[in-house]
Amino acid sequence: MPFSNAPHYSNAEVDRLLESAAIETDETRRVALYQQFQQIVYRDLPILNLVAPRMVTLANRRVNNHTVSAQGLEGNLADVYLSA
């Protein structure tokens, strides 16, 4: 997944924690580093909706079961099929 720091968040301690976690081989220590990172970011950042995707549904009579739940296209598409 690509990463974008569009709001230009900057925190030297967060950078240090992420850099340390990226090379940490001990899983317990790595988890602790990410937990520290999450606590700092949680305190620093306001709740913002950074992305508001526009949901568009294209329909065709041959496509069946494409939006059968409240989740719509975000849901499971395992039962989608095309009719002849």
Give the contacts of 6 (CB within 8 A, at least 6 positions apart). 50
Strand partners, 81: 64
d(CA 16, CA 11): 9
For the chain, which residues score pLDDT lower than 50?
Answer: 1
Q: Is the pTM of this model over 0.75?
A: no
Give the whole-number percent of the chain exceeding pLDDT 70. Answer: 90
Q: Counting Cβ atoms within 10 Å, is residue 17 exposed (0-12), middle (13-18) or buried (19+)? A: buried
pLDDT of residue 2: 61
